[in-house]
Amino acid sequence: MKDRTLIHTLPFSQGRELSTLVENRRAFTLDSLELNIYETYRVSEYVPLRFDDLVMINMIQGKKIMHLDHMKAFDYLPGQMIVLPSMVGMHIDFPEATLEQPTQCSALTIRKEKIEAVLDYLNEFYPKEQLDRWHIDPELFHLYNSNELAELVNKLFQIIISENPLKDVLADLTFKELTIRLLQSQSLMALKVGKSPNKVLVHLQEFIRRNITEKISIELLEKAAHMSKASLTRMFNRELGLSPMEYVIQQRIHKAKQLLLLTRNVKESCFGAGFNDVNYFVRLFKNRVGITPGAFVLTQWQS
């Protein structure tokens, strides 16, 4: 999974569609969803925005600086998603927008009843471990798009802006899948930042970190979790959207990044993160991060 996967640029406003140079809005409305496309063509500051429903915001092109209620301002860049409850106040700066290089951002608003229906279905038929319930965590609102999230967002947007007579049905199915991926991304983030209520996943995360340089097999994880292979795999796939061994790979890549920043040595970072073949490590790192370990070091030290 690359660190940041981009959403495809949507068609820009043409002719009469462009009514303002700051947050020009076009809306595509379905039964319980509305896709808003915003474009800004000049530098602007502290532009107010608020939504009546839960909203998934994707930065597509350009840069914003977000000011949310009672929070420190932060940069908002392509490859990122923000998920906010209804009526959250925000003000936005556009430090780089121009006529030649406008910003583009999408905001998908979702009726409360629609998101609750998906959550109720998951909690009834696919409950999480340890009595935790599926829910959108408002504290884990700022995400990086995974490949899966980005692909589903792109698919949903193309359905919504299309002329397909069945687009309401197709959008509904894709939105359900997107919601599941979003929830899994939040579960993965919660585990990473120490907020996960799943004690088994927390235990396994620490076990993997302590033994990162050792050979870690699915059998070893089964013993550490005191679970069967089937139960362990089901828990990872359901709550995090990946297999136990894929999670191990992600932890090794994360450790390799830390070592690369400290040592700037690809071979040392490879073995220090538990990989035993440098060529395999370089190929895997490029596949997951998007650049080679050597290029990663250069970009980090130049920034």
Tell me the CATH number at 269: 1.10.10.60
Q: Is residue 13 part of a domain?
A: no
| Domain encompassing residue 291 | 199-300
How confident is residue 194, by pLDDT bands cut at 50, 70 and 90?
A: very high
Residue 4 has pLDDT above 70, yes or no: no
Q: Is residue 11 part of a domain?
A: no
Same domain, 47 and 175: yes
Same domain, 189 and 205: no
Instruction: Kindly report the average pLDDT of the chain as a whole number.
Output: 95
Q: Is residue 233 part of a domain?
A: yes
Same domain, 176 and 206: no
Please give the average per-residue pLDDT across 270-297, as a whole number: 96
Q: Is residue 53 part of a domain?
A: yes
How confident is residue 24, by pLDDT bands cut at 50, 70 and 90?
A: very high
Same domain, 110 and 143: yes
Same domain, 187 and 245: no
* Domain final residue, candidates 162, 193, 224: 193
Q: Is residue 158 part of a domain?
A: yes
- Please give the tally of structural domains in the chain: 2
* Domain final residue, candidates 193, 223, 239: 193
Residue 3 has pLDDT above 90, yes or no: no
pTM (global) more than 0.95: no
Residue 295 has pLDDT above 90, yes or no: yes
Same domain, 37 and 169: yes
Percent of the residues in the chain that have a pLDDT greater than 90, as a whole number: 92
Residue 2 has pLDDT above 60, yes or no: no
* Domain final residue, candidates 193, 218, 245: 193
Same domain, 169 and 210: no
Same domain, 130 and 250: no
Residue 1: its pLDDT value, please?
A: 40
Tokens for 40, please give them: 């800004």
Same domain, 96 and 218: no
Q: Do the beta carbons of residue 32 and residue 113 sit within 8 Å?
A: yes
Residue 287: its pLDDT value, please?
A: 93
Residue 6: its pLDDT value, please?
A: 85
Residue 90 has pLDDT above 60, yes or no: yes
Same domain, 176 and 248: no
How confident is residue 5, by pLDDT bands cut at 50, 70 and 90?
A: confident
Same domain, 265 and 248: yes
